[in-house]
Structure 1
Amino acid sequence: MNNSIFKKFGLFLFVLVLSVVMVACGDDTEDTSSDANNTSDTATDNGSADTNTEDSSKLSGEITVWAHPYTDGSTGEGDMWKDFTANFEAETSVKVNFEQIPWANRDQKILTALAAGQGPDVFYVIPDQMPQYAEQQLILDISPYVSSEELSGFVPTAIEATSWKGKQYGMPILQTAESLVYNKNILTELGVDENSLPTTWDEFKALAEKAKAAGYYAFSYAGGGSLNNTLYPFLWQAGGNVIDADNNILINTPESVKAFELINEMYKKGWIPQDSITALDHDSLYFGGKLLAVNGSGISVNRLLAEKPFDFVIAPPLKDAEQLTYGTVGMFVGSAISKNPEAAAEFMKYVTNAENQRTFNNITQYIPTRDEAKDIFDSQQYMAQLAGYTQFAKPGIIHPEGRNVMPLIQAEIQAMLEGKQTPQEAADKSAAAIDGLINK
């Protein structure tokens, strides 16, 4: 066998293994609203990219682009993609074969296509997928095709989410940011000024105690859901983390343990509901007026505006050691087996430019990853407010095992809340489980 056959065979084996793992872990649907993200340690190594970016007038051939439905289809999304592809074709002479694929089983569909040497030249991923693909050389390092100047217009946290180990792999098109959305009616009952809401953990604890005394839960903690919306924001705010790119396990550091302690305290004192150990959501409690606050995003706000169950107010993300929150980033990446990588990279840059981000995010109601495009929300008070919080929004755990560590940590938190172990023990057992996973 020659080297190319060996490489294809190795890729095929990887696909089979990864597909089995992903099926076992479940098939997350895209959740760029809650799951639809601070100064970033932006990891981009552009080398000579400033002089090697592709002249779009010299491009030719064709590319295939896969994207997902980002709306219910009633907002002009289909026409948007027709315009994007037609305009790109006119500007570059590159034919674009666009296909919209469903969220369900998207990993398996992409991996199977790539293994067969087919599939898209450009496709959509989120941050917990990107490092896995990058480590296995399934996606294109676009550093040679994009300059530092071209990246400078993006929100730093969005670039952090699209790069891995010094290389740029994605061009971000959408972002979300979660922050505390308070029931204004409860605030009034508690005598709390909406302009003086908590900014720190200690201030929030004091308000949580008042809410509990008045018969309300203070906060939603859906322990059966994603850690992006439960543990991780507190972990980051305390100055902790789970694991870094060099496989240093950080989840049981003193900083990280503080987050475990906070969650345990909230549960023991009844600030969060009793079903928080395994609950998937607390929407009925919140929209029923029983919860003081939730971590909400753009979708939460739009639902509140549509249903009008109560008046609400959004507060900035909380701070302990740092002021941080969760927010996902959606990006387009290029296939490593693309026969037209220059055109693929150019399309990624084209679709994420400021003008097209205005169009895309106005239709989908996500937040642009370019500051200059956020003017689409100038007349939308709440979306404009959330857009301002993307500077604090981290996109989850950027690591090849980012998805797989979640159930390991979640099991230990659930045992902690059941009273079977202390916060320190839960953190230590989480660290041991993560070590077993990455060093197996």
Structure 2
Amino acid sequence: MRRIRAAAAGAVTISLLTAATACGGGSSNGGGSNDSPKTLTYWASNQGASIAVDKKVLAPELAKFEKQTGIKVKLEVVPWSDLLNRILTATTSGQGPDVLNIGNTWSASLQATGALLPWDAKNFDRIGGRDRFVDSAMGSTGAEGKDPAAVPLYSMAYALYYNKQMFADAGIDGPPATWDELVADGKKLSKGGTWAIGAEGANVSENVHHAFVFAKQHDAEFFKPDGTADFTGDGVVAAVKQYVDLMAKDKIIAPGNAEYAQNQSVSDFAKGKNAMLLWQSAAANLKSQGMDPDSYGIAPVPVQSGTPGTGANTNSMVAGINLAVFKNTKNLDGSTKFVKFLTSDAEQKILNTAYSSIPPVKSAQDVAPFTDPANAVLKDTLATSAAALPQVADESQFETAVGTAVKELFADAAAGRAVTTASVKAKLEKAQQQMPKK
């Protein structure tokens, strides 16, 4: 699932060097210098188990587009660890691609750079209209009241994946629905060298995603209505502590997970080292690692009490990838044709099937495999119990600051240092001080 602004972009680049797990990078000879109507440069994000997998998925589709339009697409798949900084460099240098993938949580901050093409009614008409896209996906395309900075490409939601045999061996009938149940089950499962659940403790973006969901469940927000950062309220502090306590207090996450930064918890789950996994649309990733889909179940992420829904029962952020066009492209016609192609019903089915994601295009959702029971949890979550991360200009700085605070708290837990309400608040206060002043 894997999140910038113009005049200030250069100033924030250094602070963003550690951000990322949800988008893909750039090239020095991209859209700004492309004056050929027969070529496009496309930066795709690393969605598959490897860059090689992405190239294998995308190559036949790009060939299909070239055959239909005569336009050749120069593809670069960019790792999440590089994507945000490469986009920032492109926004300041003007040397970027024609079309690029961005993590949907970056939409508002990238929108504020002024470097991306606004998707007004005229531009949406070129690709079949805004109404084709589901509301939850459109909610993560930019700041409210402004024309979107991008259009949805892949939609994802967090779910709880659980190992059926490990649950049966522990005498547990089914997946936990609340965090109390997860902790209780987790203590039964954490034994003999196996652990209940994994975490990516050094993964800044994963950290902030979970902190955001826990905060929503505590009726807390990270920003005030005027956009001012508010990281130290009681609800936010309690939420972050509850998440880190899965390792620090409950001891159902292995201490070594504090150093995990990129898919290690997925690998541990696939290998039977952990009984549960919290992840965005993980089926394709698990399959690539040899895990039989019949060996695990998929359930909604737990809530504090009751069942998933809106408000305090939010159990996922609206995860996904958006598709953007650099405003300075010399091939606007070709770029919009490419966006129309990638968001067509046929391509939405092919690409989202390959990546185990959900099409954000309404008319592409009502066909297999998106009607399968395994995808029902993800579709229902996106429709009823997922919330968009804050669509504010400082969103990417928020991810870096809060995600790093959680990373440091996991490091404390792994080292046996106490994680207390006071220590959590101190880390969040430090993170808030790093935010741009209003």
Band the TM-score falls in, shorter-chain normalisation? 0.7 to 0.9
Matches within 5 A, 1:224-243: 224-225=202-203, 226-228=206-208, 230-243=210-223
Cα distance, 1:245 vs. partner? 7.5
Instruction: Tell me which of 127, 145, 157 is aligned to 1:166.
Output: 145
Q: Structure 2 CA distance, aligned partners of 1:345 and 1:108?
A: 24
Worse overlay, 360-369 or 113-122? 113-122
Residue number in structure 1 paired with 2:101:
124
Q: Structure 2 CA distance, aligned partners of 1:113 and 1:388?
A: 37
Residue number in structure 2 paired with 1:333:
324
Residue number in structure 1 paired with 2:134:
155
Equivalent residues of 1:65, 1:98 under 8 A apart: yes
Instruction: Tell me which of 197, 210, 218 is aligned to 2:196.
Output: 218
Residue number in structure 2 paired with 1:294:
277
Cα distance, 1:179 vs. partner? 0.8
Aligned amino acid, residue 272 of structure 1 = I
Matched, 1:67 2:60: no
Unaligned runs of 5+ in 1: 1-9, 33-59, 90-94
Residue number in structure 1 paired with 2:302:
318
Instruction: Tell me which of 395, 401, 406 is aligned to 1:410.
Output: 406
Q: Structure 1 CA distance, aligned partners of 2:421 and 2:103?
A: 30
Equivalent residues of 2:317, 2:388 under 8 A apart: yes
Matches within 5 A, 1:7-406: 16-17=10-11, 19-22=13-16, 24-25=17-18, 28=20, 30=22, 64-68=40-44, 70=47, 72=53, 75=56, 77-87=58-68, 89=69, 96-104=71-79, 105-107=82-84, 110=87, 115=92, 117=94, 119-145=96-122, 146=124, 150-167=129-146, 168-194=148-174, 197-212=175-190, 216-225=194-203, 226-228=206-208, 230-243=210-223, 246-266=226-246, 267-280=248-261, 281-283=264-266, 285-300=268-283, 302-304=285-287, 307-308=290-291, 311-320=295-304, 321-326=312-317, 328-339=319-330, 341=332, 344-345=335-336, 347-374=338-365, 375-378=367-370, 380-391=372-383, 392-394=385-387, 396=389, 398=391, 399-406=395-402
Cα displacement string for residues 100-140 of structure 1 (whole angstroms, at most 9, x for unaligned residues)? 11315445555555555554333221134333321121112
Aligned amino acid, residue 376 of structure 1 = A
Cα distance, 1:420 vs. partner? 4.4
Equivalent residues of 1:416, 1:423 under 8 A apart: no
Aligned amino acid, residue 433 of structure 1 = A
Equivalent residues of 1:128, 1:402 under 8 A apart: no
Aligned residues: 393
Equivalent residues of 2:22, 2:102 under 8 A apart: no
Q: Structure 1 CA distance, aligned partners of 2:291 and 2:93?
A: 50
Give the TM-score normalised by structure 1: 0.74
Q: Structure 1 CA distance, aligned partners of 2:377 and 2:135?
A: 18
Q: Structure 1 CA distance, aligned partners of 2:291 and 2:338?
A: 40
Cα distance, 1:230 vs. partner? 4.4
Q: Does the C-alpha gap of structure 1 residues 245 and 130 become closer, same or farther in structure 2, counting only changes over 3 Å?
A: farther
Equivalent residues of 2:150, 2:323 under 8 A apart: yes
Q: Structure 2 CA distance, aligned partners of 1:73 and 1:275?
A: 29
Cα displacement string for residues 194-245 of structure 1 (whole angstroms, at most 9, x for unaligned residues)? 3xx3222233233233334788532212311231454333233333343367
Aligned amino acid, residue 189 of structure 2 = A
Aligned amino acid, residue 327 of structure 2 = A
Q: Structure 2 CA distance, aligned partners of 1:438 and 1:17?
A: 10
Q: Does the C-alpha gap of structure 1 residues 109 and 239 become closer, same or farther in structure 2, counting only changes over 3 Å?
A: same
Cα distance, 1:400 vs. partner? 4.1
Q: Does the C-alpha gap of structure 1 residues 208 and 113 become closer, same or farther in structure 2, counting only changes over 3 Å?
A: closer
Equivalent residues of 2:91, 2:113 under 8 A apart: no
Q: Structure 2 CA distance, aligned partners of 1:30 and 1:223?
A: 16
Cα distance, 1:284 vs. partner? 5.9
Q: Structure 1 CA distance, aligned partners of 2:288 and 2:91?
A: 42
Q: Does the C-alpha gap of structure 1 residues 341 and 221 become closer, same or farther in structure 2, counting only changes over 3 Å?
A: same
Cα distance, 1:187 vs. partner? 1.6
Worse overlay, 255-264 or 274-283? 274-283
Q: Structure 2 CA distance, aligned partners of 1:333 and 1:404?
A: 22
Percent identity, aligned pairs only, is 18
Q: Does the C-alpha gap of structure 1 residues 25 and 160 become closer, same or farther in structure 2, counting only changes over 3 Å?
A: same
Q: Structure 2 CA distance, aligned partners of 1:355 and 1:408?
A: 40
Q: Structure 2 CA distance, aligned partners of 1:407 and 1:216?
A: 26
In structure 2, the residue corresponding to 1:191 is in which secondary structure?
coil
Cα displacement string for residues 62-85 of structure 1 (whole angstroms, at most 9, x for unaligned residues)? 773413265525755212122234
Equivalent residues of 1:135, 1:400 under 8 A apart: no
In structure 2, the residue corresponding to 1:242 is in which secondary structure?
coil
Q: Does the C-alpha gap of structure 1 residues 379 and 230 become closer, same or farther in structure 2, counting only changes over 3 Å?
A: closer
Equivalent residues of 2:314, 2:386 under 8 A apart: no
Residue number in structure 2 paired with 1:57:
none
Q: Does the C-alpha gap of structure 1 residues 182 and 107 become closer, same or farther in structure 2, counting only changes over 3 Å?
A: closer
